Structure 1
Amino acid sequence: MNILVSLLGSTLDNHGRGEGRWGVWRPSVALAMQEELHFDRYYLLYQPDFRALCRRVEEDIRTCSPDTEVIAEAIAFRDPWDFGEVYSKLYDFSREKNFSAEEHDYYIHITTGTHVAQICLFLLNESHHLPGKLIQTQPTRRNCARGSFTVIDLDLSRYDLLAQRFAVERDNDLDFLKSGIATRNARFNGLIETIERVAIRSTEPILLTGPTGAGKSQLARRIYELKKMNGQLKGSFVDVNCATLRGDQAMSGLFGHKKGAFTGAVSDRAGLLKAADGGILFLDEIGELGSDEQAMLLRAVEEKRFLPLGSDREEGSSFQLICGTNRDLNAEVAAGRFRSDLLARIDLWSFELPGLAERREDIEPNLEYELNRYAEKSGKRVTFNREARKRFLEFALAPGNAWPGNFRDLNAMVTRMATLASGGRIDLETVNREIARASGRHPDAEPDAGLASLLGADYAVRYDLFDLAQLKKVVEICRQSKTLAEAGKKLFAVSRRNKSSSNDSDRLSKYLARFGLDFRTL
């Protein structure tokens, strides 16, 4: 069933008198004259003062389309230019009819009525209270009475050009959140896509979890900058490390204080929540907050109100909260160190950022990013020579390299190498010294050539020193022995004497296999 909702046009629908009215364009009647359209039901909304005009238009609609059921609905507007009143009355109409787009096809006519009424119909259609498609009519010279019509579908994804523009804009937003880094990790890219949608559409708290150095602070700032670019924020980005807040200083720092509230409070202080009004408050390491601060923060997030220390008057601040932590807050709740109600409030949008070791394919593009950052800060452009770059990436991508400090480690390594680079080029020697430093060896100490040839140049970051010391002795014995059995007898002599080992060769083979080695290739 096709159902039309239209407002009676007190001016446009009142054109013409007698038989002459059929020669002029009247929007409400013209809709019933369209050969390509047929409406089974026609809701004609009118103001009571125009009841006579409504009856005349009703009759003319039935004349043009006898099969159309015309339902005239009176809606009284005290002031048809009062947006609040008009929207409220049209909203009530939509709720009363309980239109269902799944059962029928709906058209909302937006040509008649005041501009305010047309805007209200548009908004109700966009919010699906009046579902369906918009229809717009206009007069034409060829058939002046019938005119023409245009159907507008607010599903903008149907419009190819608009869809392309939205796609480009979204790609730009994603690129911005990733600081322009062409990241390759599928999990991280999917995470950023979700964060972009949430950042643009929501003002609810966001919780960023993940290991230290995974980029939580930087991402929080990029979310702020993205929202500000889109005109969604007017306030500042306030970055707070909760691990630095203790005692009265924590309360005072967050919520402010009045002069004399405690020893040392020599003047009023607004507090960081107030500073974030209209912007974003980023609480890094939120798991470090004390219980009293947690309780006050919960109220501030829910009610946008808080009480500064020493004050009997509440302050207000409307901010979006982003929290960061490397702790398991559910475990903290279980241990009684974190409020369950606060966690429930800040955990609506929770995103776990993977560490660098889980995003090894992103190391190479991040390497370029770190070099660019160094250039911006120092004013000096530095690059790797080919051999040095290859060597560093071998080290960086090695499975045994855990990157415990994540991007902070990468930034520190690049900064050191770039600073020591001669002539703006990082050479192999500089890279090897940095790898030695990262591997826990003295930079001037020579690597073990024997183990390096067997296990790879990055062996020192993949195996514990304990295992390497043992393996070095085992390899030495194997190389001195003619057969696997002979090496096994030497290595497990005590076990043989005590009869605690029955197959020395098998035992030795399994040990070497742990390192990907075979006796025949030693």
Structure 2
Amino acid sequence: MRNVVLGFLGTQLDMGKRRRWRPSISLCQTEGFHVDRFELLYDRKFSRLAHDVRREIERVSPDTEVLLVQMDLDDPWDLQEVYAKLFDFAKDYGFDEDRERYHIHLTTGTHVAQICWFLLSESRHIPAALIQTGPPRGDEEIGTFDLIDLDLGRYDALQQRFDQQTREYGDLLKGGIETRNPAYNALIDRIEQVASISDAPILLMGESGTGKSELAQRIYELKLQRRRVKGRLVQVNCATLRGGGAIATLFGQRRSHTGQPGTERSGLLREADGGVLFLDEIDELGMEEQALLLHALETGRYYPLGSDSEVTSRFQVIAGASRDLATLVAEDRFRLDLLSRLNLWTFRLPALRDRTEDLEANLRFELARAEKILGTRVGFNADAADAWLRFARAPDTPWPGNFRDFGGAILRLCTLAPRGRITRAQVDEEVETLRRRWRMAENDPDARLVGEVTDLTLDPFDVPQLAHVIRICRTAPTISEAGRRLFAASRETRTSRNDADRLRKYLARFDLTWASLHDDT
């Protein structure tokens, strides 16, 4: 078959000013690749050079037929013009693939021309392989020659690399846990695809403890790797946005609002500029805050408290909710327009009891995490591991706190393990502890609330008191305000009235902090 080459005249290179190397001429001298016909595209302004190159090709390669094709370009760097004229050239060409093999010489012409050549060959508008030539190396007289054939074999190799990268992104979203649950793996694949190419809001639905916060963190890390964002991740627990300070926390506050120095706040939306805003427990957000948030999400602009001018902040949104937002809309407790803005991509995380295939992998993950926390490696005795997994997989094991319950139980077992080994007796005791707590929580809202924030075994009289403190902390805008509400009566009889310090010490008795009650998923 005859070899046919299409290429632009090199208005600089074909003059031979670079090491006397003229690529269009050198191509026709390549050993092992005979050019039967060379169709050289040129602008009439360079007609003299085009005829000179044709004469030189005919001298060094007498069997090569050189056809000069005039293609005048007003601007050879205008992508639209170059592509349109090359497209018309290809449409009218009349390729005969049964008798001729076509090649495109990429070395000459502008970078825009090279891009257009590639697009037309990749789309098969021009059924051609690509040729890249280069100047001679060392003492060689003939330049280099590389044939770039867009064959399926090479595409397969590239596809394998893309597939490998996709698997790595999926592993990132799963936290490195080798999950086997088909539904969950399909969910992660879809999230990876959406988060990698879309800036639209993502809504994560699921019971408390299913891992919405951790997944949001990993989605942010994926977006950071894919260069979808440059800023930081700002996490907001909407359940803590109560009272007069809620709007200031979200949107910021100017000193003019109170007139007092030190009251300025940038606001969480401002801090998320260029990054990701994670609105955890958005189903707990008040109606007024929902309206203001909707405007900020749609326009990227909002008014801080006390300001007469708008602030601009562009960020991507991930929202988390434990309750069904459509149900809340029907109950007039959530705005329909805000839900419509958030639910373009909604992903429901399955509960632990629906992912029994993944319990063993998650057990290994929690053991590794406990090792980092405790600084010592702990393992299960064989009979203990079997007993624990039987309990974890049993149909009557409800796991109401999902992975939070599971992880807390493993951490307790590791902490109390004698000589770094978890025994069968420990497992039996932990199973009984979990069952007792779950029975209490079913009938006791205070116990259920306390169980959401701590894994400690409490005396019965501590539970209602701690539950009351938790509710106050979650509704108060600051720790000082929470302390004032809790210690209003006893403050008058004390010499020290540092309510915030008293509250910190009380929470510390249960291994809790003010931040943990606001950041807990």
TM-score by length of 1: 0.67
- Which residue is 1:153 aligned to? 150
Contact 1:27 1:138 in 2 (8 A): no
Deviations 1:466-522 (Å, cap 9, x if unpaired)?
xxxxxxxxxxxxxxxxxxxxxxxxxxxxxxxxxxxxxxxxxxxxxxxxxxxxxxxxx
How many residue pairs get aligned? The number is 424
**1:279–1:260 distance in 2 versus 1, CA, 3 Å:** same
- Which residue is 1:73 aligned to? 71
SS in 2 for 1:223: helix
Contact 1:217 1:284 in 2 (8 A): yes
Aligned pair 1:354/2:350, yes or no? yes
Of 345, 366, 383, which aligns to 2:341?
A: 345
Contact 1:43 1:73 in 2 (8 A): no
What amino acid is aligned across from residue 391 of structure 1 in structure 2?
A
Distance of 1:144 and 1:416 partners within structure 2: 76
Distance of 1:439 and 1:329 partners within structure 2: 30
Structure with higher Rg: it is 1
**1:135–1:289 distance in 2 versus 1, CA, 3 Å:** farther
Contact 1:287 1:329 in 2 (8 A): yes
**1:429–1:147 distance in 2 versus 1, CA, 3 Å:** closer
Deviations 1:107-143 (Å, cap 9, x if unpaired)?
76421124x43665488569969887644245789x9
Q: In the TM superposition, what are the counterparts of 1:496-507 in structure 2 within 5 Å?
A: none
Aligned pair 1:433/2:429, yes or no? yes
Q: In the TM superposition, what are the counterparts of 1:463-502 in structure 2 within 5 Å?
A: none
Which region of structure 1 is more displaced relative to structure 2, 309-318 or 350-359?
Answer: 309-318
Contact 1:208 1:350 in 2 (8 A): yes
SS in 2 for 1:423: helix
- Which residue is 1:12 aligned to? 13
Contact 1:307 1:315 in 2 (8 A): yes
Aligned pair 1:283/2:279, yes or no? yes
SS in 2 for 1:180: coil
Distance of 1:310 and 1:388 partners within structure 2: 61
SS in 2 for 1:136: strand
Deviations 1:327-369 (Å, cap 9, x if unpaired)?
2223334444434443333333222211101100111111111
Gaps of 5+ in 2: 440-521
Of 411, 418, 425, which aligns to 2:414?
A: 418
Deviations 1:367-423 (Å, cap 9, x if unpaired)?
111121112112132221111111111110001212111101101211222222222
Aligned pair 1:400/2:396, yes or no? yes
Distance of 1:442 and 1:191 partners within structure 2: 29
- Which residue is 1:314 aligned to? 310
Aligned pair 1:256/2:252, yes or no? yes
Distance of 2:230 and 2:400 partners within structure 1: 37
**1:202–1:428 distance in 2 versus 1, CA, 3 Å:** same
Distance of 1:382 and 1:156 partners within structure 2: 48
Contact 1:9 1:28 in 2 (8 A): no
- Which residue is 2:381 aligned to? 385
Contact 2:42 2:68 in 1 (8 A): no
SS in 2 for 1:240: strand
Q: CA deviation at 1:6?
A: 4.2
Contact 2:378 2:421 in 1 (8 A): yes
**1:109–1:241 distance in 2 versus 1, CA, 3 Å:** farther
Q: In the TM superposition, what are the counterparts of 1:31-430 in structure 2 within 5 Å?
A: 44=41, 46=43, 49-54=45-50, 72-77=70-75, 86-87=78-79, 89-90=81-82, 93=85, 109-114=105-110, 116-117=111-112, 120-121=115-116, 134-138=130-134, 148=145, 150-153=147-150, 158=155, 160=157, 162-261=158-257, 266-430=262-426
What amino acid is aligned across from residue 397 of structure 2 in structure 1?
N
What amino acid is aligned across from residue 221 of structure 1 in structure 2?
Q
Distance of 2:327 and 2:90 partners within structure 1: 47
Which region of structure 1 is more displaced relative to structure 2, 227-236 or 323-332?
Answer: 227-236
Deviations 1:433-474 (Å, cap 9, x if unpaired)?
11112222899xxxxxxxxxxxxxxxxxxxxxxxxxxxxxxx
SS in 2 for 1:312: coil
TM-score by length of 2: 0.67
Distance of 1:442 and 1:232 partners within structure 2: 42
**1:409–1:24 distance in 2 versus 1, CA, 3 Å:** closer
Q: CA deviation at 1:233?
A: 3.6
State the Cα RMSD in Å: 4.4
Distance of 2:30 and 2:68 partners within structure 1: 11
**1:391–1:275 distance in 2 versus 1, CA, 3 Å:** same
SS in 2 for 1:10: coil
Percentage of matched positions with identical amino acids: 40
Contact 1:30 1:147 in 2 (8 A): no
**1:148–1:345 distance in 2 versus 1, CA, 3 Å:** same
**1:374–1:128 distance in 2 versus 1, CA, 3 Å:** same
Which region of structure 1 is more displaced relative to structure 2, 323-332 or 255-264?
Answer: 255-264
What amino acid is aligned across from residue 117 of structure 1 in structure 2?
V
**1:282–1:441 distance in 2 versus 1, CA, 3 Å:** closer
**1:425–1:120 distance in 2 versus 1, CA, 3 Å:** same
**1:65–1:275 distance in 2 versus 1, CA, 3 Å:** same
Contact 2:30 2:142 in 1 (8 A): no
Q: CA deviation at 1:5?
A: 6.9
Deviations 1:186-245 (Å, cap 9, x if unpaired)?
111122222223333333222211221111110110122233345544321111111211
Q: Which has the higher contact order (CA 8 A, sep 6+)?
A: 2
Distance of 1:148 and 1:124 partners within structure 2: 21
Distance of 1:271 and 1:126 partners within structure 2: 52
Contact 2:207 2:351 in 1 (8 A): yes
Distance of 1:125 and 1:348 partners within structure 2: 35
Contact 1:184 1:362 in 2 (8 A): yes
**1:123–1:322 distance in 2 versus 1, CA, 3 Å:** farther
Q: CA deviation at 1:321?
A: 1.3
Deviations 1:85-115 (Å, cap 9, x if unpaired)?
5445445657888979xx999976421124x
What amino acid is aligned across from residue 8 of structure 1 in structure 2?
L
Contact 2:352 2:399 in 1 (8 A): yes
